[in-house]
Amino acid sequence: MKSSSFESSSSLSLKSASDVQLTSIVDANSQEADIGTVPSKQLLRKVAAVAYLCGVSVTSSATNGLIVIGLPELTEDLRLPPSLAFWPSSVQGLATASTLLLAGAIADVAGPRPVNLLGCMFNCIFMLTCGLVKSGEELVILRALQGVATALHLSSSVALVTKVQPQGRGRNLSFACLGLSQLLGFSASLVVGGILIDTIGWRSGWYFCGGLTLLLLAIGWWALPRTSCLSASRNTLRSLQVRVDWIGAFLASVSMSLLTYFLGVISTNVDRIRSPESLLSLSLSMITAVLFVCWMHSRVKNGQVALIPNELWKNPCFTSVCITVALSFAVLNSLDLVTSLYFQEIEHLSALEAAIRMLPSTVVGLTLNITTGLVVHKIRAEKQAVAGAVFNTAAQLGNTMGLAAMQIISTWVTKQQEKVKSPTHALMEGYRATFWTMLALLLVCTIVGAIGLRKAGKVGSKHY
């Protein structure tokens, strides 16, 4: 009996030891699995967040491509008057440039996540609505509203990348992808839009972009990091009143809007530059610009938050980047639009044939963007959203003013040449004048970059 009892207890003890050993092994394996699962989920969220930001930029840029390649068809189908010929393309940039600074300031206070998701949602709505328009005026209005939604996305994208990606190669690559996505969306929409226009119509492209943006909204809701900037809505509203420079944002928006409106008015008829309406808008634009600079000085002097501190422009690298970005986008978008019109109005090619001939320029742009790190993440962390807003404001303002300036030059030269040449040859002379103007702007851009970025340093190694 004792032997039996001993054997029983021995087997029990051995079994217990075995169970304990197996349990510890299982626990260790489960801990290793948990440890491996957490980083993989974090990595998936990071990749999804960057993919979401790039995807929204792709769809937003794709709508610009749809306008560029489909402008002749849009003009005919919607009976767009000549005075609004360039406005479907330029009005979005005008609205974006006018609201980017304010959107960036709000993103700094309320957090970039809700601002970006709100911009994505409105982008989706306005894209789908653009496919339902019945007149050219409706399209211009909806494009302006889409520009405001784009401002919400662009102003907060830079800050979100810095939250998702740590400093280093990953962050630089993410910034490059943001720039790359805009060219990808634009170039893809040229080809796809050309096919759609020649087959089932131009409206289907807007439906596709809107549906894709809706899918991206769901991805962004899950992937974007939650910000803990402010928890209570009462505190948020209070901070928006105190920390956002509403007067500065108003002055900047009014100045840019009036200047672009002035260019838009005289673009249809250069002789209208002498009209009281044009002179008033130009004068008010200059006055509000001066008031904006004085207001920034007053805010900084009194220790208050300034939308764009004047000392920021003393940084030669920052100023040079803003100037080169504005000039580059002024040429880039104008070149695409005028080239598309040349192929379709002068060469009488179809939309798809014109799109294929425009692809080489986008290939060069894609190659350059892959190697781009830029200097966005060199700005102090608390100013990242505002810095992103300033850079994007420069781009959108350059886009709008470039299109307006090119239309003025093209219209004026064409009008002069119509006296001695046929309409087609006169139109060609107008396009030729815009090409020479764009070449001159690029030369200025090169000079500014060569002088202003001499001491920029290595990207990622120095913070300003």
Please name each of the domains of the chain with its CATH number: 49-225+232-245+299-452 (1.20.1250.20)
**Would you say residue 17 has pLDDT above 50?**
no
Indicate the Cα dihedral angle 139, 211, 50, 182, nearest 10°: -40
Question: How far is residue 397's CA from residue 253's CA, in Å, rounded to a whole number?
Answer: 11
Return the minimum-mean-pLDDT range out of 100-104, 248-252, 357-361, 384-388. Answer: 384-388
Confidence of residue 462 (pLDDT cuts 50, 70, 90): very low
Return the minimum-mean-pLDDT range out of 130-139, 307-316, 373-382, 434-443. Answer: 373-382
Q: What pLDDT, on a 0 to 100 scale, did the predictor assign at position 23? A: 41
**Would you say residue 411 has pLDDT above 50?**
yes
**Would you say residue 392 has pLDDT above 80?**
no
Indicate the Cα dihedral angle 410, 413, 414, 419, nearest 10°: 170
Confidence of residue 15 (pLDDT cuts 50, 70, 90): very low
Instruction: Give the pLDDT mean for 235-242.
Output: 62
| Mean pLDDT comparison of 35-39, 59-63, 247-251, highest-scoring range | 59-63
pLDDT tens sequence across 217-230: 999 999 888 765 44
Q: What pLDDT, on a 0 to 100 scale, did the predictor assign at position 310? A: 82
Instruction: Give the pLDDT mean for 349-363.
Output: 79
pLDDT tens sequence across 148-171: 999 899 878 877 888 887 776 677
Instruction: Give the pLDDT mean for 244-261.
Output: 81
Cβ atoms within 10 A of the Cβ of 194, count? Answer: 25
Return the minimum-mean-pLDDT range out of 12-16, 124-128, 370-374. Answer: 12-16
Return the minimum-mean-pLDDT range out of 154-163, 206-215, 299-308, 370-379. Answer: 370-379
**Would you say residue 314 has pLDDT above 50?**
yes
Q: What pLDDT, on a 0 to 100 scale, did the predictor assign at position 29? A: 47
